[in-house]
Chains A and B, each alone.
Chain A
Amino acid sequence: MTEGARRPLRLALTLPGTLWLALFLAIPGLLLCGLAFLSRGAHGEIVWQLSLGNFQRLLGFSSFGWTADYLRILVRSVVVAGVTTVVALALAYPVAFFVASRPPRRRSFWLALVLIPFATNLVIRTYGWMLILAPALPPARLARWLGLIDPQGGLFPGAFATYVGLISAALPFAVLPLYTNVERLDPALLEAARDLYAPGWRVFRRVIVPLTLPGLTTAAFLTFVPTLGMFVVPDLLGGARYWLIGNVIQQQFGASRDWPFGAALGLALVVLTLAAWWIVRKKGSAGSLA
C-alpha cells in the first residue's frame, strides 16, 4: 500500500532530471541524427533534401573518386584513444596502489594531488604542455641530445605531444575508479597469491585484475570515450597533420559551416562509442566469471 502511495512522489522527483535530459540530450541528439541525412547549401545553409551523401563522403566517396582521408582519421582516433587508455591504465594502477597504501588520514591528500589538474581548464593545461615541450626547453634539448628527434625538431607539435596531452588529461579518470577498487582489495589476497608460487605478473593477471575489474572497466570507459572525441588537445599539440575525428567535427561546425556532414561524423563517433561500451561490457562480464 505504501508502495502505491509513494509512486506519484517518486515520479515527481524524477521529473526535473528527465525533463533536463529530454530537453538537452534526447532532443538535440535526435536533431543531430536527422541533420546527418540533410545536405549543405552553397553558402553553408542547411538544405531540406534527404540524402546519404554525408555518409558516402565519410566513407571516402566524392565526385573526385575515393580517398581514405576521413576513414584514416577515424581509425587513427580509435587507435589513439585505445593507446591512451592502455597507457593511462598502466600508469594509474601504481598510483592507485600507492595512494591505497598510505595511512588512511593521508590518502585524501594524495587523492587531492591527483585531482588538482581538474581545477585547471583543459585548454590552459594543454598550453602548459606546449610550453614544456617547446624546442628551447630542457625536455626537447634532452631528446635532441639523445638523438630521439631531428636536430632542428621539437617535441611538439606531433603524435608524441598529442599522446602526452591526452594521457595526462585522462589519467585522473583512470586513477579514481581504480583507486576505489584497489583500496578495498585485501592485501592478504596478494600475499596469498605470492605464497602460492605466483610471480608478480601472475598476481596481477589472476588476482589484481579480476578483483578490480569493475574499476578497470569504468576507468577504461572514462578514458577511452572522452579521448575519442577530444579536439582541444590534438588541435593544440598535434599540429595540422595529426587531426583526430574531434577536430574534423569541430571544423564542420565551425570554419567549413557544413553542419550536416559534421552531424554525420558525430553520429559515427556515437556509434564507435557505443561499440566500445558494448565490447568493454562483454569483456567485463566474461572476465568476472573466469
Chain B
Amino acid sequence: MNPPAPVGRLDLEGLSKTFGSTPVLADLSLVVEAGELLTVLGPSGCGKTTLLRLIAGLELPDRGTLRLDGRDITRVPAHQRPVNTVFQSYALFPHLSVAGNVAFGLESRRFPRPEIERRVASALALLELAELAQRWPNELSGGQKQRVALARALVNEPEVLLLDEPMSALDAKLRAQLQLELRRLQRTLSRTFILVTHDQDEAMVVSDRILVMRGGRIEQLGSPREVYERPRTRFVAEFLGAANLIPVTANGSNGHVQAAWGTLAVRERPPWREGLVAIRPERIRVNPERPASSENGFSARVTDAVFRGDCLDLWLAPMPLRVRTPPIEALEPGQQVWIELPVDDLEVLVD
C-alpha cells in the first residue's frame, strides 16, 4: 500500500508577534513542506512555542500571513483550522475517559456516531491504547497520557500536527522509544508534523529538517546533518552538541585564517576581519606521531584525558582544544600528540 499523497504545506510570511513591549517573533518567513517533520529548536523564550500557537490559531500574529495548502488561514479561528496540537502538559480532559477525550474533536464537528466510534477505535489501536479506552486520565502513566494526547489529535486527521515539547515530562528511556515511534507514525501518516523542543538530541533523532530559533528569529534551517556539521553561527554551533570555537583573524587573500597558535586553511573566505571558526571535537584527528604529509596539522600536549567507555575525551594545550577520539590508544596527560583539523570540518562562523 502506498502512503497517501502528503498534505499540509505551510507558508509563513513575515510573521511578527509582540507581547506588551517584548517582540517574540520578528518578521519570520518559512516554508514547511507537506509531509515533512520539522523540529523547531531553541532555548526557552526564543519564540518557538509562540510560532506553534500562531499556526494552531491560539494566538494571532500582529503582522504577516499564514497559508495552509495555499489557503490564507491567518485570521481563521483555532476551532476551524485543520490543525491539531499535542500540548506540553497533554491537557487531557480530566472529566472524560480516554475514549471520550479521543472522540472530542469528532463530536465537535458532529460526525455521525458510528463514524466517531470507528475512528476512535482505530486511533486507539494505532497507538496501542485499546485496553485503556475506558480509563480516566488520572489513572494513566506519563507515556500513556502522551499517547492519548497523540491519538486525540491524530483521530481528526489534521493536515498539520503540532507537538509542543511532547516528551519533556517523560524519562530518558521512554523518550528514546517514543521518538522512534513518532518518526514511524509520521512516515506512515504522511502528514506534516511540527515539533517544538529544546532537546537537541530529540531534534536530531526525529527531524527531516531542524529550525534553530533565537530571539524570535530563524538562526538556521536545514537537515539535522547540515545544521550539525555546517553551523553558520556560534549560537548554532554551541546549541547543537559541543564545538571548539577558535578565535582567528582573516589572513587576507588565500583562504587562510590565523589563530594564536598557527595558521589554518579554511574552505571559504571569512566575511570579517576577526571572528570564530568552529570544529566538532570528534572531527579532530589525533596521531601519536607526525605523519608524512598533513594539512592543518599541529603538535599539541594532552592536559587531561577522560575514558568514557565508547570514546576518549582529550583536552589539548596550548590551543586549548577539546577532542573526542575512539578509545583505541591509551593517551595520558603530558603526552605529545600530532593533531589535524580537516579543512572540510572547519566551519567559518558568520558572526
Within 8 A of A (CB), among B77-120: 77-80, 83-85, 87-89, 91-95, 104-105, 108-109
Is B56's CB under 8 angstroms from A186's CB? no
The A-B contact count (CB < 8 A) is 62
The listed residue (A188, A202, A206, A210) touching B87 by CB distance below 8 A is: A188
CA distance A207 to B96 in the complex (A): 9
Query: Is B311 an interface position by the 8 A CB rule?
Result: no
Chain A residues with Cβ below 8 Å from B57 are 194-195
Is A194's CB under 8 angstroms from B91's CB? no
A-B contact pairs, 29 of them (CB 8 A): A186-B89, A186-B91, A188-B87, A188-B88, A189-B91, A191-B85, A191-B87, A192-B87, A193-B93, A193-B104, A193-B108, A195-B57, A195-B83, A195-B84, A195-B153, A196-B104, A196-B105, A196-B108, A197-B79, A197-B80, A197-B105, A197-B156, A198-B79, A198-B104, A199-B108, A206-B104, A210-B95, A211-B95, A288-B95
Within 8 A of B (CB), among A176-230: 186, 188-189, 191-199, 202, 206-207, 210-211
The listed residue (A192, A194, A202) touching B93 by CB distance below 8 A is: A192
Interface mask (A232-262 → B, CB under 8 Å = 1, otherwise 0):
0000000000000000000000000000000
CA distance A199 to B153 in the complex (A): 17
Is A195's CB under 8 angstroms from B85's CB? yes
Within 8 A of A (CB), among B60-84: 77-80, 83-84
Chain B residues with Cβ below 8 Å from A210 are 95
Closest to B105 in A: A196
Residues of chain B having any CB pair with chain A under 8 Å? 56-58, 77-80, 83-85, 87-89, 91-95, 104-105, 108-109, 152-153, 156
Chain B residues with Cβ below 8 Å from A211 are 94-95
How close is B138's CB to chain A, nearest CB, in angstroms?
A: 13
How close is B205's CB to chain A, nearest CB, in angstroms?
A: 26
Chain A residues with Cβ below 8 Å from B83 are 195
Is A189's CB under 8 angstroms from B93's CB? yes
User: Quick one: which of A186, A191, A193, A196 has the most chain B CB within 10 A?
Assistant: A196
Is B109's CB under 8 angstroms from A197's CB? yes
Is B95's CB under 8 angstroms from A196's CB? no
Listed from nearest, the 5 A-B pairs whose CB atoms lie closest are A196-B105, A197-B108, A192-B91, A188-B91, A194-B78
How close is B60's CB to chain A, nearest CB, in angstroms?
A: 13
How close is A217's CB to chain B, nearest CB, in angstroms?
A: 15
How close is B83's CB to chain A, nearest CB, in angstroms?
A: 8
CA distance A196 to B157 in the complex (A): 11
Is A202's CB under 8 angstroms from B89's CB? no
Chain A residues with Cβ below 8 Å from B80 are 197
Is B152's CB under 8 angstroms from A196's CB? yes
Closest to A187 in B: B91
How close is A213's CB to chain B, nearest CB, in angstroms?
A: 8
Is B58's CB under 8 angstroms from A195's CB? yes
CA distance A21 to B57 in the complex (A): 56
The listed residue (B58, B88, B95) touching A194 by CB distance below 8 A is: B58
Chain B residues with Cβ below 8 Å from A189 are 91, 93-94
Chain A residues with Cβ below 8 Å from B77 are 194
Closest to A192 in B: B91
Is B58's CB under 8 angstroms from A191's CB? yes
CA distance A211 to B95 in the complex (A): 7
How close is A53's CB to chain B, nearest CB, in angstroms?
A: 51
Is A188's CB under 8 angstroms from B89's CB? yes
Known contacts A194-B58, A211-B94, A211-B95; is-contact A199 B89 (Cβ 8 Å): no
How close is B95's CB to chain A, nearest CB, in angstroms?
A: 5
CA distance A210 to B85 in the complex (A): 22
Chain A residues with Cβ below 8 Å from B153 are 195-196
